[in-house]
Amino acid sequence: MSRRSWVRPLIAMGLVAVTAMVSACGTSGPGESNAGALKIWALEDPVLNKIENKSIDSFKAGGGNASLETFGNDPYKQRLRVAIGSPQAPDLFFNWGGGNLKEYVDAGKVADLTSVLEENKAAKDAFIPSVLNGAKLGDKYYGVPMRGMQPVLLFFNKKVFTEAGAQPPTTWDELLTLVDTFKAKGITPIALAGTQAWTELMWAEYVLDRVAGPEVFKNIRDKGPEGWKDPAVVESMTKLKDLIDRGAFGSNFASVGYDAGGASTILAQGKAAMHLMGSWEYTNQLDQSPDFVKNGDLGWVAFPSIPGGKGDAGNLVGNVSNFYSATQDSKSLDAAKKFVTTELHKDSYVEALIEAGDVPPVVGAEEKLKKSPNPEYASFIYELVLESKNFQLSWDQDLPADKATSMLTQLQEFFLGKVSPQQFVDAVAAR
């Protein structure tokens, strides 16, 4: 075959490639027909998405226009990351506040909502200040709460406790005693879904907070990984190691998951006595083991205090709330601002959240919470948050993604006993 006969096919090849690329780019350009509609992105949730859509209907009734798109947890984080600097970016996006939001703020992608909240005092004052602060970075507000508050609580199986003649723990030492009590009875003292590092993280968060107060972590978040070298971190991790080595979590937690058939089920079936989990565990149990909840066997208490520790026993960790933030480059920024200052504290929205079992982050909801399907539980959480001096956002949400990821890896190694408290600190401080 002569050389020349190759030339034309080669050129054709190039043309095909170029055409394909151009046409691929063409679709991402502007020219969407639904211009002016507020594009809202949120996390998928069969119950809450309906309520969020109702708030959009209410916004439309007021002359606005908006639409909701929802995604599963991990795909959401990835999509948001890729989309936020592009023409495909949403106008309002769901987030967890804290350091996670800070990455987007630092990149100049998030609109400052301070002035619009100051102008709409009614909106600003409607929310519990400590929750609103979850999306406050420096002295500016970058988000408005839009779902319920989800502190982490210590759940327990009342039946198992009664049979053992035991009381739920109020102090760390009581917790240690309970571990021995249940171990002797062949019951896993504490259920732990160890395949997912965030369940282990809840323990690390609470123990550090109780031992040394919230400042140690705030220091890590604000001043960088050097903050991990605070001696309080090794001290709290040593306490936690003691708990793990006592067999508090049983021997097989490393392959237990949080989904059906996992940690929640062994609590419901009485194979485990306690379970530290976010407040969503209640609805989760109601869904998966309805009889367990309806018979009144599911109990809950705040995390025990650690005597001699500096942290206030009322401090909480967990998801402070979820927030809507507006993108800086949005063409509908004014509409977005209007949405977050009018729709999210409306009585109808708040009541719908309560009826769905959520505990909305608004002030003066005591009366409304009586309409909750589980009023006792909802009021407990509401009071807990109102009385807490500090509500720490989950560390993995409050740190930049790269630091959070390596911390979670180290934490799993720690729970397996492959890494000592000091080695944990050295590893996370080095990043």
Partner 1 sequence: MSSQRPSAWYAVPAFAFFALFAALPMLLVIYLSFTAWDGLGTPTLNGGENWSRLLDDAEARASVWRTLVLMVVSWLVQTPIALLIGVWAAGKQRSRAVLSSIFFLPLLLSTAAIALLWQALLEPNFGAFVGGPLFLGDPDIALYTVVLVISWQFIPFHTLLYQGAARAVPPSLYEAATIDGASRVSKFRHITLPQLRYTIVTSSVLMLVGSLTTFDTVLILTNGGPGTATRILPLHMYITGFSGFEMGYASAIAVVLVVLGTALSLAVMRWSGFRQMSSQQEGS
* Residue 87 interacting with partner 1 (CB under 8 A): no
Element (DSSP H or E) covering residue 100: helix 98-106
- Of the two residues 159 and 271, which places its CB atom closer to partner 1 in the complex? 271
* Residue 34 interacting with partner 1 (CB under 8 A): no
Cβ 346 to partner 1 shortest distance, Å: 33
- Its sign, for the CA torsion 387, 99, 394, 226, is negative
* Residue 142 interacting with partner 1 (CB under 8 A): no
> Phi and psi for 220 in degrees, rounded to 5?
-60, -45
Enumerate residues 6+ apart whose C-beta is below 8 A from 404: 99, 395, 396, 397
User: Could you say which of 82, 121, 222, 229 contacts partner 1 (CB under 8 A)?
Assistant: 82
* Residue 13 interacting with partner 1 (CB under 8 A): yes
Cβ 388 to partner 1 shortest distance, Å: 29
* Residue 9 interacting with partner 1 (CB under 8 A): yes
Enumerate residues 6+ apart whose C-beta is below 8 A from 271: 187, 188, 191
* Residue 186 interacting with partner 1 (CB under 8 A): no
Can you give 309-376 as a three-state secondary structure string?
A: CCCCCCCEEEECCCEEEEECCCCCHHHHHHHHHHCCCCHHHHHHHHHCCCCCCECCCCCHHHHCCCHH
- Residues recorded for the chain: 431
Site string for partner 1, 399-428 (x = CB under 8 A): --xx-xxx--x--xx-xx-x----------
Considering only residues 292-351, where is the footprint of partner 1 by CB under 8 A? Answer: none
Half-sphere exposure of 322 (CA within 13 A, CB side): 18
First-to-last alpha carbon distance for the chain, in angstroms, is 58
Cβ 195 to partner 1 shortest distance, Å: 6
Residue 301 burial (10 A CB sphere; 0-12, 13-18, 19+): middle
Taking CB under 8 A as the binding criterion, the range among 119-127, 226-234, 249-257, 302-310 that sits at the site for partner 1 is: 249-257
User: Could you say which of 21, 35, 47, 363 contacts partner 1 (CB under 8 A)?
Assistant: 21
Taking CB under 8 A as the binding criterion, the range among 15-23, 140-148, 236-244, 351-359 that sits at the site for partner 1 is: 15-23
- Which residues contribute to the site for partner 1 (CB under 8 A)? 1, 5-6, 8-9, 12-13, 16-17, 20-21, 74, 78, 81-82, 84-85, 103-104, 107, 109, 194-195, 251-257, 261-262, 265-266, 271, 401-402, 404-406, 409, 412-413, 415-416, 418
